[in-house]
Structure 1
Amino acid sequence: MPSADVEVSSRTLDFGARGGMLRARFQALSDAEPGLRIRTMAKRLGVAELELLCSGCGDLSARPLAVSPQALLRALPAINEVMAVTRNPWCVHECTGRYEGVRAERQVGLVTGDTIDLRIYFNHWHSIWAVSQPDRRSIQVFDRSGTAVHKVYATPQTHMPDFEALIERHLGPDRDEDLVLQPYPPTAPLEPPADPAGLRAGWP
Protein backbone atom coordinates (compact mmCIF):
# COMPACT_ATOMS: atom_id res chain seq x y z
CA MET A 1 0.00 0.00 0.00
CA PRO A 2 1.41 3.44 -0.82
CA SER A 3 2.32 5.40 2.25
CA ALA A 4 1.44 9.06 2.72
CA ASP A 5 3.87 9.69 5.55
CA VAL A 6 7.19 9.56 3.65
CA GLU A 7 8.00 12.53 1.46
CA VAL A 8 11.33 12.12 -0.32
CA SER A 9 12.57 13.61 -3.55
CA SER A 10 13.49 11.17 -6.31
CA ARG A 11 17.24 10.67 -5.88
CA THR A 12 20.00 8.11 -5.76
CA LEU A 13 20.97 7.16 -2.22
CA ASP A 14 24.10 9.03 -1.08
CA PHE A 15 26.36 7.01 1.23
CA GLY A 16 29.02 9.74 1.56
CA ALA A 17 28.70 13.12 3.24
CA ARG A 18 24.89 12.93 3.43
CA GLY A 19 25.14 9.58 5.20
CA GLY A 20 27.45 11.05 7.85
CA MET A 21 25.12 13.97 8.50
CA LEU A 22 22.13 11.64 8.69
CA ARG A 23 23.88 9.42 11.24
CA ALA A 24 24.57 12.48 13.41
CA ARG A 25 20.96 13.69 13.19
CA PHE A 26 19.68 10.19 13.93
CA GLN A 27 21.87 9.92 17.02
CA ALA A 28 20.81 13.33 18.29
CA LEU A 29 17.12 12.41 17.96
CA SER A 30 17.72 9.01 19.55
CA ASP A 31 19.47 10.63 22.53
CA ALA A 32 16.70 13.21 22.94
CA GLU A 33 13.82 10.74 22.60
CA PRO A 34 14.92 7.17 23.34
CA GLY A 35 12.65 4.36 22.22
CA LEU A 36 11.27 5.87 19.00
CA ARG A 37 10.55 3.33 16.28
CA ILE A 38 12.66 3.66 13.15
CA ARG A 39 9.60 4.47 11.04
CA THR A 40 8.80 7.38 13.36
CA MET A 41 12.40 8.55 13.34
CA ALA A 42 12.47 8.54 9.55
CA LYS A 43 9.37 10.70 9.43
CA ARG A 44 10.74 13.10 12.04
CA LEU A 45 14.03 13.42 10.13
CA GLY A 46 12.28 13.91 6.80
CA VAL A 47 13.85 10.89 5.11
CA ALA A 48 12.84 7.39 4.10
CA GLU A 49 13.37 4.48 6.48
CA LEU A 50 15.61 2.79 3.94
CA GLU A 51 17.98 5.78 4.04
CA LEU A 52 18.49 5.23 7.77
CA LEU A 53 19.36 1.58 7.16
CA CYS A 54 21.70 2.22 4.26
CA SER A 55 23.49 5.00 6.17
CA GLY A 56 24.23 2.70 9.10
CA CYS A 57 22.36 4.82 11.62
CA GLY A 58 22.52 3.78 15.25
CA ASP A 59 23.25 0.08 15.63
CA LEU A 60 21.76 -0.84 12.25
CA SER A 61 23.68 -2.76 9.60
CA ALA A 62 22.02 -3.59 6.28
CA ARG A 63 23.08 -5.62 3.25
CA PRO A 64 21.05 -5.85 0.02
CA LEU A 65 19.80 -9.23 -1.13
CA ALA A 66 19.72 -10.15 -4.81
CA VAL A 67 16.65 -12.36 -4.68
CA SER A 68 13.24 -12.09 -6.32
CA PRO A 69 10.23 -11.52 -4.04
CA GLN A 70 8.75 -14.81 -5.21
CA ALA A 71 11.91 -16.80 -4.44
CA LEU A 72 12.20 -15.18 -1.01
CA LEU A 73 8.64 -16.02 -0.07
CA ARG A 74 9.07 -19.63 -1.18
CA ALA A 75 12.24 -19.94 0.95
CA LEU A 76 10.73 -18.67 4.20
CA PRO A 77 8.97 -21.90 5.30
CA ALA A 78 12.36 -23.59 5.74
CA ILE A 79 13.50 -21.24 8.52
CA ASN A 80 10.74 -22.33 10.91
CA GLU A 81 9.17 -19.77 13.28
CA VAL A 82 9.59 -16.04 12.67
CA MET A 83 7.77 -12.82 13.49
CA ALA A 84 6.13 -11.29 10.41
CA VAL A 85 5.42 -7.55 10.58
CA THR A 86 3.54 -5.30 8.18
CA ARG A 87 2.96 -1.70 9.25
CA ASN A 88 1.42 1.44 7.83
CA PRO A 89 0.63 4.84 9.41
CA TRP A 90 -2.64 3.54 10.87
CA CYS A 91 -2.06 -0.02 12.05
CA VAL A 92 0.41 -2.86 12.48
CA HIS A 93 -0.09 -6.53 11.58
CA GLU A 94 2.30 -8.63 13.66
CA CYS A 95 2.22 -12.43 13.82
CA THR A 96 4.63 -15.03 15.17
CA GLY A 97 4.55 -18.40 13.45
CA ARG A 98 5.61 -20.18 10.27
CA TYR A 99 5.16 -19.23 6.63
CA GLU A 100 2.94 -22.11 5.47
CA GLY A 101 0.78 -22.72 2.43
CA VAL A 102 3.01 -20.41 0.40
CA ARG A 103 2.16 -19.66 -3.22
CA ALA A 104 4.14 -17.06 -5.15
CA GLU A 105 3.33 -16.60 -8.82
CA ARG A 106 3.97 -13.53 -10.94
CA GLN A 107 2.71 -10.47 -9.02
CA VAL A 108 0.67 -12.16 -6.28
CA GLY A 109 1.78 -14.13 -3.23
CA LEU A 110 -0.27 -16.09 -0.69
CA VAL A 111 0.60 -17.35 2.78
CA THR A 112 -2.17 -19.41 4.37
CA GLY A 113 -0.72 -20.70 7.63
CA ASP A 114 -2.48 -21.04 10.96
CA THR A 115 -0.97 -17.82 12.31
CA ILE A 116 0.62 -16.02 9.34
CA ASP A 117 -2.03 -15.33 6.71
CA LEU A 118 -1.01 -12.88 3.98
CA ARG A 119 -2.06 -11.64 0.55
CA ILE A 120 0.91 -9.96 -1.12
CA TYR A 121 1.24 -7.82 -4.25
CA PHE A 122 4.85 -8.06 -5.37
CA ASN A 123 4.77 -4.89 -7.47
CA HIS A 124 5.34 -3.04 -4.17
CA TRP A 125 8.39 -5.20 -3.26
CA HIS A 126 11.20 -3.14 -4.77
CA SER A 127 14.29 -4.02 -2.69
CA ILE A 128 15.10 -6.65 -0.04
CA TRP A 129 17.67 -6.27 2.74
CA ALA A 130 19.24 -8.37 5.48
CA VAL A 131 19.31 -6.22 8.62
CA SER A 132 21.42 -6.83 11.70
CA GLN A 133 21.21 -5.28 15.16
CA PRO A 134 23.05 -6.42 18.29
CA ASP A 135 20.02 -8.33 19.58
CA ARG A 136 18.01 -9.22 16.48
CA ARG A 137 18.22 -10.27 12.82
CA SER A 138 15.66 -9.63 10.11
CA ILE A 139 14.89 -9.59 6.41
CA GLN A 140 13.15 -6.38 5.38
CA VAL A 141 11.33 -5.45 2.18
CA PHE A 142 10.98 -1.86 0.91
CA ASP A 143 8.93 -0.20 -1.79
CA ARG A 144 10.20 2.37 -4.31
CA SER A 145 9.78 5.24 -1.85
CA GLY A 146 12.05 3.57 0.72
CA THR A 147 9.13 2.66 2.98
CA ALA A 148 9.20 -0.77 4.66
CA VAL A 149 6.32 -2.92 3.42
CA HIS A 150 7.16 -6.22 5.15
CA LYS A 151 9.65 -7.45 7.75
CA VAL A 152 10.61 -10.95 8.86
CA TYR A 153 12.31 -11.13 12.28
CA ALA A 154 14.16 -14.13 13.67
CA THR A 155 12.85 -15.47 16.98
CA PRO A 156 14.36 -17.95 19.48
CA GLN A 157 12.58 -20.70 17.51
CA THR A 158 13.96 -19.67 14.11
CA HIS A 159 16.27 -22.23 12.52
CA MET A 160 19.24 -19.88 12.32
CA PRO A 161 21.49 -22.06 10.10
CA ASP A 162 18.81 -21.94 7.39
CA PHE A 163 18.16 -18.24 8.07
CA GLU A 164 21.85 -17.42 7.64
CA ALA A 165 22.15 -19.69 4.60
CA LEU A 166 19.25 -17.92 2.93
CA ILE A 167 20.97 -14.57 3.41
CA GLU A 168 24.40 -15.76 2.34
CA ARG A 169 22.97 -17.42 -0.76
CA HIS A 170 21.47 -14.17 -1.99
CA LEU A 171 23.85 -11.47 -0.80
CA GLY A 172 24.18 -8.62 -3.28
CA PRO A 173 26.85 -5.89 -3.48
CA ASP A 174 27.74 -4.18 -0.19
CA ARG A 175 25.98 -1.03 -1.40
CA ASP A 176 23.48 -0.61 -4.20
CA GLU A 177 24.76 2.65 -5.66
CA ASP A 178 21.99 2.70 -8.25
CA LEU A 179 19.09 2.48 -5.82
CA VAL A 180 16.80 5.45 -6.40
CA LEU A 181 13.98 6.47 -4.11
CA GLN A 182 10.80 7.53 -5.89
CA PRO A 183 8.07 9.35 -3.98
CA TYR A 184 4.41 8.58 -4.37
CA PRO A 185 2.32 11.40 -5.82
CA PRO A 186 0.63 13.51 -3.15
CA THR A 187 -2.91 12.55 -2.28
CA ALA A 188 -5.72 14.87 -1.28
CA PRO A 189 -6.77 14.69 2.38
CA LEU A 190 -9.97 12.79 3.08
CA GLU A 191 -13.00 14.98 3.62
CA PRO A 192 -15.19 14.19 6.66
CA PRO A 193 -18.74 13.03 5.85
CA ALA A 194 -21.35 15.76 5.72
CA ASP A 195 -23.73 13.73 7.92
CA PRO A 196 -21.77 11.46 10.31
CA ALA A 197 -24.89 10.44 12.27
CA GLY A 198 -26.71 9.48 9.09
CA LEU A 199 -23.71 7.51 7.88
CA ARG A 200 -23.55 5.54 11.14
CA ALA A 201 -27.31 4.92 11.12
CA GLY A 202 -27.20 3.57 7.58
CA TRP A 203 -24.16 1.37 8.09
CA PRO A 204 -25.00 -2.33 7.55
Structure 2
Amino acid sequence: MTPRASMLPAEIRTARAEIASLRDRDFADKFQISEAQLVAAYIGEGVTRITAAPDDLIPRICDLGEVMALTRNASCVIEKVGTYENYHSGQHASMVLTEAIDLRLFPRHFISAFAVVRPGDNGLKRSIQIFDAAGDAVHKVHLRDSSNVDAFNRLVRDLAVEDQSQEHAVEVRKPTEAAKADPEKADLLRAEWAKMTDTHQFMRLTSKLKMNRLGAYRIAGEPFVRALAPEAVNTMLHSVRDETVEVMIFVGNMGCIEIHGGPVKNLRNMGPWQNILDPGFDLHLRLDHIAEVWAVNKPTQRGDAVSVEAFDAEGGLILQVFGRRTDAKDHRPAWNALVADLASLAIAEPAE
Protein backbone atom coordinates (compact mmCIF):
# COMPACT_ATOMS: atom_id res chain seq x y z
CA MET A 1 0.00 0.00 0.00
CA THR A 2 1.41 3.33 -1.08
CA PRO A 3 -0.10 6.29 0.84
CA ARG A 4 -1.86 8.93 -1.28
CA ALA A 5 0.37 11.93 -0.68
CA SER A 6 -2.10 14.04 -2.69
CA MET A 7 -4.85 13.74 -0.05
CA LEU A 8 -4.63 16.98 1.91
CA PRO A 9 -5.44 17.20 5.63
CA ALA A 10 -8.63 19.14 4.91
CA GLU A 11 -9.71 16.43 2.46
CA ILE A 12 -9.02 13.78 5.07
CA ARG A 13 -11.17 15.59 7.64
CA THR A 14 -14.01 16.04 5.16
CA ALA A 15 -14.00 12.36 4.24
CA ARG A 16 -13.77 11.37 7.90
CA ALA A 17 -16.80 13.46 8.80
CA GLU A 18 -18.79 11.63 6.13
CA ILE A 19 -17.71 8.19 7.41
CA ALA A 20 -17.46 8.62 11.16
CA SER A 21 -18.29 5.03 12.11
CA LEU A 22 -15.15 3.36 10.73
CA ARG A 23 -12.22 2.67 13.02
CA ASP A 24 -9.14 4.75 12.21
CA ARG A 25 -7.21 1.86 10.67
CA ASP A 26 -10.15 0.80 8.49
CA PHE A 27 -10.71 4.38 7.34
CA ALA A 28 -7.01 4.79 6.49
CA ASP A 29 -7.03 1.56 4.48
CA LYS A 30 -10.19 2.58 2.63
CA PHE A 31 -8.64 5.86 1.47
CA GLN A 32 -5.13 4.46 1.01
CA ILE A 33 -3.52 6.78 3.51
CA SER A 34 -1.62 5.89 6.64
CA GLU A 35 -3.22 6.00 10.06
CA ALA A 36 -0.60 8.54 11.17
CA GLN A 37 -1.65 10.86 8.33
CA LEU A 38 -5.26 10.57 9.49
CA VAL A 39 -4.35 11.47 13.08
CA ALA A 40 -2.02 14.31 12.00
CA ALA A 41 -4.83 15.88 9.96
CA TYR A 42 -6.42 16.89 13.29
CA ILE A 43 -3.39 18.61 14.82
CA GLY A 44 -4.69 21.75 16.50
CA GLU A 45 -8.13 20.14 16.77
CA GLY A 46 -7.54 17.93 19.77
CA VAL A 47 -4.28 16.40 18.49
CA THR A 48 -0.75 17.44 19.45
CA ARG A 49 2.43 16.07 17.93
CA ILE A 50 4.79 14.94 20.72
CA THR A 51 8.19 13.30 20.92
CA ALA A 52 8.19 9.60 20.11
CA ALA A 53 11.47 8.74 21.87
CA PRO A 54 10.64 5.96 24.38
CA ASP A 55 13.08 7.28 27.00
CA ASP A 56 11.19 10.58 27.04
CA LEU A 57 7.69 9.24 26.52
CA ILE A 58 7.34 6.02 28.51
CA PRO A 59 8.35 7.45 31.93
CA ARG A 60 5.67 10.11 31.47
CA ILE A 61 3.11 7.42 30.58
CA CYS A 62 4.01 5.81 33.90
CA ASP A 63 2.54 8.92 35.57
CA LEU A 64 -0.88 8.39 33.99
CA GLY A 65 -1.99 5.65 36.37
CA GLU A 66 -4.28 2.92 35.10
CA VAL A 67 -4.57 2.88 31.31
CA MET A 68 -5.25 0.45 28.49
CA ALA A 69 -2.25 -0.63 26.39
CA LEU A 70 -2.97 -1.67 22.80
CA THR A 71 -0.66 -3.31 20.27
CA ARG A 72 -1.67 -4.79 16.95
CA ASN A 73 -0.67 -6.18 13.62
CA ALA A 74 -2.93 -6.67 10.60
CA SER A 75 -4.43 -9.87 12.03
CA CYS A 76 -4.44 -9.56 15.80
CA VAL A 77 -5.05 -6.91 18.47
CA ILE A 78 -4.11 -7.23 22.15
CA GLU A 79 -5.41 -4.89 24.86
CA LYS A 80 -4.27 -4.95 28.49
CA VAL A 81 -5.39 -2.76 31.40
CA GLY A 82 -2.80 -1.78 34.00
CA THR A 83 -0.12 0.72 34.86
CA TYR A 84 3.20 1.41 33.15
CA GLU A 85 6.00 0.87 35.65
CA ASN A 86 9.43 -0.74 35.83
CA TYR A 87 10.68 0.78 32.57
CA HIS A 88 14.04 -0.48 31.34
CA SER A 89 15.72 1.60 28.66
CA GLY A 90 17.82 0.06 25.92
CA GLN A 91 19.44 1.24 22.71
CA HIS A 92 17.96 -1.57 20.63
CA ALA A 93 15.13 -2.76 22.88
CA SER A 94 13.39 -1.32 25.92
CA MET A 95 10.92 -2.96 28.29
CA VAL A 96 7.97 -2.25 30.55
CA LEU A 97 7.67 -5.08 33.06
CA THR A 98 4.61 -5.35 35.27
CA GLU A 99 2.13 -8.13 35.98
CA ALA A 100 -0.43 -6.57 33.63
CA ILE A 101 1.59 -4.44 31.19
CA ASP A 102 4.47 -6.43 29.72
CA LEU A 103 6.06 -4.79 26.65
CA ARG A 104 9.13 -5.08 24.45
CA LEU A 105 9.75 -1.78 22.66
CA PHE A 106 12.08 -1.29 19.68
CA PRO A 107 12.97 2.44 19.62
CA ARG A 108 14.11 2.65 15.99
CA HIS A 109 10.48 2.13 14.94
CA PHE A 110 9.14 4.90 17.22
CA ILE A 111 9.11 7.59 14.52
CA SER A 112 6.12 9.80 15.37
CA ALA A 113 3.72 10.18 18.27
CA PHE A 114 0.57 12.13 19.03
CA ALA A 115 -1.48 13.03 22.07
CA VAL A 116 -5.10 12.68 21.00
CA VAL A 117 -8.22 14.13 22.66
CA ARG A 118 -11.55 13.26 21.07
CA PRO A 119 -15.18 13.53 22.11
CA GLY A 120 -16.72 10.22 23.15
CA ASP A 121 -20.07 8.92 24.30
CA ASN A 122 -19.19 9.61 27.94
CA GLY A 123 -16.96 12.66 27.65
CA LEU A 124 -13.50 13.22 26.22
CA LYS A 125 -11.35 10.25 25.22
CA ARG A 126 -7.59 10.68 25.58
CA SER A 127 -4.80 8.57 24.12
CA ILE A 128 -1.12 8.47 23.16
CA GLN A 129 -0.55 7.01 19.70
CA ILE A 130 2.84 6.00 18.32
CA PHE A 131 3.62 5.23 14.66
CA ASP A 132 6.45 3.88 12.54
CA ALA A 133 8.01 5.38 9.40
CA ALA A 134 5.19 4.07 7.19
CA GLY A 135 2.60 5.65 9.48
CA ASP A 136 1.41 2.30 10.86
CA ALA A 137 0.50 2.15 14.55
CA VAL A 138 3.26 0.73 16.73
CA HIS A 139 1.52 1.14 20.11
CA LYS A 140 -1.37 3.05 21.67
CA VAL A 141 -2.16 4.02 25.24
CA HIS A 142 -5.80 4.83 26.05
CA LEU A 143 -6.67 6.64 29.25
CA ARG A 144 -9.49 5.34 31.44
CA ASP A 145 -11.88 7.05 33.83
CA SER A 146 -9.41 6.54 36.68
CA SER A 147 -6.36 7.84 34.76
CA ASN A 148 -4.53 10.99 35.84
CA VAL A 149 -5.72 13.68 33.41
CA ASP A 150 -3.45 16.32 34.97
CA ALA A 151 -0.44 14.11 34.22
CA PHE A 152 -1.69 13.71 30.64
CA ASN A 153 -1.98 17.48 30.24
CA ARG A 154 1.54 17.96 31.59
CA LEU A 155 2.83 15.30 29.19
CA VAL A 156 1.27 17.12 26.25
CA ARG A 157 2.70 20.45 27.37
CA ASP A 158 6.20 19.18 28.08
CA LEU A 159 6.66 16.76 25.18
CA ALA A 160 5.05 18.79 22.38
CA VAL A 161 7.49 19.24 19.48
CA GLU A 162 8.02 22.39 17.46
CA ASP A 163 6.52 20.99 14.25
CA GLN A 164 2.74 21.03 14.64
CA SER A 165 1.95 20.82 10.93
CA GLN A 166 -1.05 18.77 9.81
CA GLU A 167 1.02 17.44 6.91
CA HIS A 168 2.68 14.13 7.72
CA ALA A 169 5.26 12.50 5.44
CA VAL A 170 5.51 8.71 5.47
CA GLU A 171 7.63 6.10 3.78
CA VAL A 172 6.27 3.27 1.66
CA ARG A 173 5.45 0.34 3.88
CA LYS A 174 8.07 -2.40 3.60
CA PRO A 175 6.62 -5.75 2.50
CA THR A 176 6.67 -8.68 4.88
CA GLU A 177 9.78 -10.78 4.46
CA ALA A 178 8.83 -14.10 2.89
CA ALA A 179 10.04 -17.36 4.35
CA LYS A 180 13.80 -17.63 3.86
CA ALA A 181 15.64 -20.93 4.21
CA ASP A 182 18.66 -22.79 2.90
CA PRO A 183 17.89 -26.54 2.71
CA GLU A 184 21.60 -27.30 2.28
CA LYS A 185 22.10 -25.98 5.83
CA ALA A 186 19.23 -27.99 7.35
CA ASP A 187 21.55 -30.38 9.19
CA LEU A 188 23.57 -27.47 10.60
CA LEU A 189 20.36 -25.73 11.65
CA ARG A 190 19.18 -28.80 13.54
CA ALA A 191 22.58 -29.35 15.16
CA GLU A 192 22.81 -25.76 16.38
CA TRP A 193 19.13 -25.74 17.40
CA ALA A 194 19.73 -28.74 19.68
CA LYS A 195 22.51 -26.82 21.47
CA MET A 196 20.38 -23.79 22.38
CA THR A 197 20.11 -22.87 26.04
CA ASP A 198 17.84 -19.80 25.65
CA THR A 199 15.00 -18.97 23.27
CA HIS A 200 16.62 -15.64 22.37
CA GLN A 201 19.47 -17.55 20.73
CA PHE A 202 17.12 -18.70 17.97
CA MET A 203 17.02 -15.43 16.06
CA ARG A 204 20.80 -15.14 16.20
CA LEU A 205 21.05 -18.67 14.85
CA THR A 206 18.72 -18.04 11.91
CA SER A 207 20.47 -14.77 11.12
CA LYS A 208 23.85 -16.50 11.10
CA LEU A 209 22.50 -19.10 8.68
CA LYS A 210 20.86 -16.39 6.54
CA MET A 211 17.38 -17.72 7.24
CA ASN A 212 14.37 -16.31 9.05
CA ARG A 213 11.93 -17.78 11.55
CA LEU A 214 9.38 -19.24 9.15
CA GLY A 215 12.00 -20.46 6.72
CA ALA A 216 13.78 -22.33 9.49
CA TYR A 217 10.53 -23.90 10.67
CA ARG A 218 9.77 -25.19 7.19
CA ILE A 219 13.00 -27.22 6.95
CA ALA A 220 13.82 -28.15 10.58
CA GLY A 221 11.42 -31.07 11.01
CA GLU A 222 10.65 -32.99 14.19
CA PRO A 223 11.41 -32.96 17.09
CA PHE A 224 11.99 -29.22 16.66
CA VAL A 225 8.83 -28.25 14.77
CA ARG A 226 5.56 -29.81 13.68
CA ALA A 227 3.14 -28.30 11.16
CA LEU A 228 -0.42 -27.85 12.42
CA ALA A 229 -3.62 -27.02 10.56
CA PRO A 230 -4.73 -23.36 10.63
CA GLU A 231 -7.74 -24.31 12.79
CA ALA A 232 -5.36 -25.60 15.48
CA VAL A 233 -5.07 -22.08 16.92
CA ASN A 234 -8.78 -21.93 17.67
CA THR A 235 -8.71 -25.47 19.04
CA MET A 236 -5.77 -24.51 21.23
CA LEU A 237 -7.56 -21.44 22.65
CA HIS A 238 -10.58 -23.53 23.60
CA SER A 239 -8.37 -26.16 25.25
CA VAL A 240 -6.45 -23.50 27.20
CA ARG A 241 -9.76 -22.14 28.48
CA ASP A 242 -11.32 -25.53 29.25
CA GLU A 243 -8.23 -26.94 30.97
CA THR A 244 -7.49 -23.67 32.85
CA VAL A 245 -3.91 -23.62 31.59
CA GLU A 246 -2.15 -20.28 32.00
CA VAL A 247 -0.23 -19.11 28.95
CA MET A 248 1.97 -16.34 27.61
CA ILE A 249 0.49 -14.77 24.45
CA PHE A 250 2.82 -12.57 22.39
CA VAL A 251 1.29 -10.16 19.85
CA GLY A 252 3.25 -7.47 18.10
CA ASN A 253 4.67 -5.65 15.14
CA MET A 254 8.15 -4.43 14.20
CA GLY A 255 8.08 -1.75 16.91
CA CYS A 256 6.36 -3.32 19.89
CA ILE A 257 5.48 -6.71 21.35
CA GLU A 258 2.79 -6.90 24.03
CA ILE A 259 2.46 -9.98 26.22
CA HIS A 260 -0.43 -11.45 28.19
CA GLY A 261 0.51 -13.78 31.01
CA GLY A 262 -2.37 -15.65 32.60
CA PRO A 263 -5.54 -17.61 31.85
CA VAL A 264 -8.03 -17.39 29.01
CA LYS A 265 -11.59 -17.38 30.32
CA ASN A 266 -14.11 -15.93 27.89
CA LEU A 267 -14.04 -16.75 24.18
CA ARG A 268 -16.54 -15.19 21.80
CA ASN A 269 -16.51 -15.86 18.08
CA MET A 270 -17.81 -13.02 15.86
CA GLY A 271 -17.62 -13.71 12.13
CA PRO A 272 -13.95 -14.17 11.19
CA TRP A 273 -12.81 -12.88 14.61
CA GLN A 274 -12.12 -15.02 17.65
CA ASN A 275 -12.16 -12.79 20.72
CA ILE A 276 -10.89 -13.18 24.26
CA LEU A 277 -12.96 -10.87 26.45
CA ASP A 278 -11.58 -11.14 29.97
CA PRO A 279 -11.35 -8.59 32.79
CA GLY A 280 -8.36 -6.40 31.95
CA PHE A 281 -7.46 -8.40 28.84
CA ASP A 282 -8.96 -8.47 25.35
CA LEU A 283 -7.60 -10.16 22.26
CA HIS A 284 -9.09 -10.01 18.77
CA LEU A 285 -7.77 -12.55 16.24
CA ARG A 286 -8.68 -12.89 12.56
CA LEU A 287 -8.89 -16.65 12.18
CA ASP A 288 -9.28 -16.32 8.41
CA HIS A 289 -5.85 -14.67 8.17
CA ILE A 290 -4.04 -17.70 9.58
CA ALA A 291 -2.21 -19.53 6.79
CA GLU A 292 0.45 -21.56 8.66
CA VAL A 293 0.70 -22.84 12.22
CA TRP A 294 3.70 -24.49 13.82
CA ALA A 295 4.24 -26.26 17.12
CA VAL A 296 7.81 -25.31 18.05
CA ASN A 297 10.18 -26.77 20.61
CA LYS A 298 13.27 -24.81 21.68
CA PRO A 299 15.63 -26.19 24.33
CA THR A 300 16.52 -23.92 27.27
CA GLN A 301 18.33 -24.30 30.57
CA ARG A 302 14.93 -24.41 32.32
CA GLY A 303 13.47 -27.06 30.06
CA ASP A 304 11.98 -27.06 26.60
CA ALA A 305 10.07 -23.92 25.55
CA VAL A 306 7.08 -25.17 23.56
CA SER A 307 5.05 -22.71 21.51
CA VAL A 308 2.23 -22.53 19.00
CA GLU A 309 2.94 -19.87 16.36
CA ALA A 310 0.62 -18.58 13.64
CA PHE A 311 1.61 -16.86 10.37
CA ASP A 312 -0.34 -15.07 7.67
CA ALA A 313 -0.25 -15.78 3.93
CA GLU A 314 2.68 -13.38 3.42
CA GLY A 315 4.75 -15.10 6.11
CA GLY A 316 4.15 -12.49 8.82
CA LEU A 317 4.03 -13.65 12.42
CA ILE A 318 0.54 -13.12 13.88
CA LEU A 319 1.00 -14.42 17.43
CA GLN A 320 2.93 -16.86 19.61
CA VAL A 321 1.63 -18.77 22.62
CA PHE A 322 3.77 -20.44 25.30
CA GLY A 323 2.99 -22.19 28.58
CA ARG A 324 3.35 -19.95 31.65
CA ARG A 325 5.43 -20.60 34.72
CA THR A 326 4.72 -18.65 37.93
CA ASP A 327 5.93 -18.88 41.52
CA ALA A 328 2.65 -20.58 42.39
CA LYS A 329 2.48 -23.12 39.56
CA ASP A 330 4.32 -24.31 36.49
CA HIS A 331 1.69 -24.59 33.75
CA ARG A 332 4.20 -25.73 31.14
CA PRO A 333 3.73 -29.52 31.55
CA ALA A 334 -0.04 -29.16 31.03
CA TRP A 335 0.62 -26.82 28.10
CA ASN A 336 3.14 -29.21 26.55
CA ALA A 337 0.60 -32.04 26.74
CA LEU A 338 -2.08 -29.81 25.25
CA VAL A 339 0.15 -28.92 22.28
CA ALA A 340 1.14 -32.56 21.79
CA ASP A 341 -2.56 -33.40 21.41
CA LEU A 342 -3.05 -30.88 18.58
CA ALA A 343 -3.40 -32.72 15.28
CA SER A 344 -0.57 -32.45 12.79
CA LEU A 345 -1.30 -30.91 9.41
CA ALA A 346 -2.56 -33.56 7.04
CA ILE A 347 -0.39 -33.71 3.94
CA ALA A 348 -2.27 -34.84 0.85
CA GLU A 349 -0.80 -37.94 -0.77
CA PRO A 350 0.19 -37.42 -4.42
CA ALA A 351 -2.16 -39.05 -6.92
CA GLU A 352 -0.86 -42.23 -8.49
What TM-score range do you get, normalising by the shorter chain?
A: 0.7 to 0.9
Assess, with a 3 A threshold, how the Cα gap between structure 1 residues 95 and 123 changes in structure 2: closer, same or farther.
same
Structure 1: state its 5+ residue gaps.
1-5
Match 2:133 to one of 144, 151, 154: 144
Q: Does 1:103 align with 2:88?
A: yes
- The percent identity for this pair of structures is 27
Partner of 2:12: 22
Q: Letter of the aligned partner of 2:8 in structure 1?
A: R
Match 2:2 to one of 7, 14, 17: 7
Partner of 1:50: 36
Deviations 1:135-186 (A, max 9, x none): 2011111111111111111111111211211111111236247852001233
Q: Output the CA distance in 2 between the equivalents of 1:67 and 1:42.
A: 21
Q: Output the CA distance in 2 between the equivalents of 1:178 and 1:111.
A: 32
Q: Check whether the contact 2:72–2:78 (CA below 8 A) recurs between aligned residues.
A: yes
Assess, with a 3 A threshold, how the Cα gap between structure 1 residues 29 and 170 changes in structure 2: closer, same or farther.
same
Partner of 1:63: 48
Q: Does 1:114 align with 2:105?
A: no
Assess, with a 3 A threshold, how the Cα gap between structure 1 residues 199 and 27 changes in structure 2: closer, same or farther.
same
Residue 110 of structure 1: how far off its partner (Å): 0.5
Q: Output the CA distance in 2 between the equivalents of 1:163 and 1:181.
A: 27
Q: Output the CA distance in 1 between the equivalents of 2:115 and 2:10.
A: 21
Q: Letter of the aligned partner of 2:2 in structure 1?
A: E
Deviations 1:103-139 (A, max 9, x none): 1122311111110001111111001111110120111
Q: Could you say what secondary structure the match of 2:141 adopts?
A: strand
Q: Could you say what secondary structure the match of 2:39 adopts?
A: helix
Q: Output the CA distance in 1 between the equivalents of 2:27 and 2:178.
A: 23
Structure with the bigger RCO (C-alpha within 8 Å, sep 6+) is: 1
Q: Check whether the contact 1:138–1:151 (CA below 8 A) recurs between aligned residues.
A: yes
Q: Letter of the aligned partner of 1:85 in structure 2?
A: L
Deviations 1:53-112 (A, max 9, x none): 12229xx63211135221211222222111111111111111111012211122311111
Assess, with a 3 A threshold, how the Cα gap between structure 1 residues 45 and 113 changes in structure 2: closer, same or farther.
same
Partner of 1:3: none
Q: Does 1:155 align with 2:140?
A: no
Q: Could you say what secondary structure the match of 2:66 adopts?
A: strand
Partner of 1:90: 75
Q: Check whether the contact 1:26–1:45 (CA below 8 A) recurs between aligned residues.
A: no
Q: Could you say what secondary structure the match of 2:75 adopts?
A: coil
**TM-score, reference length from structure 1:** 0.78
Q: Letter of the aligned partner of 1:56 in structure 2?
A: Y
Assess, with a 3 A threshold, how the Cα gap between structure 1 residues 126 and 174 changes in structure 2: closer, same or farther.
closer
Structure 2: state its 5+ residue gaps.
180-217, 219-225, 230-293, 297-352
**TM-score, reference length from structure 2:** 0.47
Larger CA Rg, structure 1 vs 2? 2
Q: Does 1:81 align with 2:70?
A: no
Partner of 2:25: 39
Residue 28 of structure 1: how far off its partner (Å): 2.6
Q: Output the CA distance in 2 between the equivalents of 1:167 and 1:29.
A: 28
